[in-house]
Structure 1
Amino acid sequence: MKELMEEKAAGWFTKGYNCCQSILLAARETYALEMNPDFLIEIGRFFREGMASGCTCGALVGAEMALGLVNKEQGLNLPPETAGALHDRFVKAFGSSCCRVLRKKQGVIGKMTKQGCKKITAGTAGLLYELIEEIRSSN
């Protein structure tokens, strides 16, 4: 299932949605969230490329939002520290939560083709899935 969620996020990204939108749409499909996809697209619209300023990666923002949606709809009753756990996993996996730093590592070709961002988006979807499933199995 983790790989499927990663593929879904990468697929949405390939279709032209930004990193945040792609995570939200993949989470909606994976967890059967009762959210209008157009609503998710709109709330994620301005989180591309670190809120267009190079700050926090939109994939991480989307994953944090998706975590809240899954928590509510599936009654997981997650503690607030779960957001920090997701952030820490993201930083461990990718080296930073800052879009500017992440994109700098991608090189010219990676930036032009957005393949680096696509990989981060897919990887973030996988991190989200792993965290949710670990919490589920411990409850």
Structure 2
Amino acid sequence: MKKSEKAAELFKKGFNCSQAIIGAFCEDYGIKMQTGLKIASGLGSGVRSAEICGAVSGAVLVIGLKYGSDNTDSKTLCNTKTEEFIKMFREINGSIVCRDILGCDITTPHGKEKALAEQYFTTVCLDMVVSAAQILEDLYY
């Protein structure tokens, strides 16, 4: 199963966008699925603020698992890979900001109502999860 398919499956089961991304990749880096899901649990819906898309946040966690460093001297590779991912995601999806991607601010009652009525959480958000996972697959796998 491709990582993008696994991420979509996790999202459809009810995990948030960030959890779906890290859940699809974390075991490749020795992180138990349960731990990965916990780590990413607060990042959905743009860190609950409609800021950076949770799928992007989850992807950055995955990039950290793959390219991150445990010392302060070698951050360059992870930073470069993160910037590369962000650029690609933005080119494909137009933005990395949740409220821009959705076209509404889900932190407001009106915005959340619109997102629910238009089913953005099960359509647009699913598309962002698949996109983020595919970019990770294309760039780093």
TM-score range, shorter chain: 0.7 to 0.9
- The equivalent residue for 1:137 is none
Greater RCO between the two (CA within 8 Å, min separation 6)? 1
Change (3 A) 1:110 1:93: farther
Q: Could you tell me the TM-score, scaled by structure 1's length?
A: 0.80
Change (3 A) 1:12 1:44: same
Q: Which has the higher helix share?
A: 1
The structure 2 residue matched to 1:114, chosen from 114, 119, 122, is 122
Change (3 A) 1:102 1:27: same
Shift of 1:79: 4.8
Q: Could you tell me the TM-score, scaled by structure 2's length?
A: 0.79
Q: Distance in 2 between matches of 1:48 and 1:62?
A: 9
- SS class of match (1:49): helix
Cα pair 2:67 2:78 within 8 Å, conserved? no
- The equivalent residue for 1:66 is 62
**How many residues are matched?**
125
Superposition RMSD on alpha carbons, in Å? 2.3
Q: Distance in 1 between matches of 2:102 and 2:89?
A: 15
Residue deviations 1:31-56 (CA, integer Å, cap 9, x gap): x2210212111111111111111100
Change (3 A) 1:79 1:72: closer
Shift of 1:72: 5.3
- SS class of match (1:110): coil
The residue type equivalent to 2:124 in the other structure is G
Q: Distance in 2 between matches of 1:50 and 1:116?
A: 14
The structure 2 residue matched to 1:17, chosen from 15, 20, 25, is 15
Identity of aligned residues (%): 27
- The equivalent residue for 1:45 is 41
- The equivalent residue for 2:136 is 128
- SS class of match (2:58): helix
Unaligned residue ranges in structure 2 (runs of 5+): 70-75, 105-113
Q: Distance in 1 between matches of 2:14 and 2:32?
A: 18
Larger Rg computed on CA atoms? 2
- The equivalent residue for 1:27 is 25
Unaligned residue ranges in structure 1 (runs of 5+): 134-139
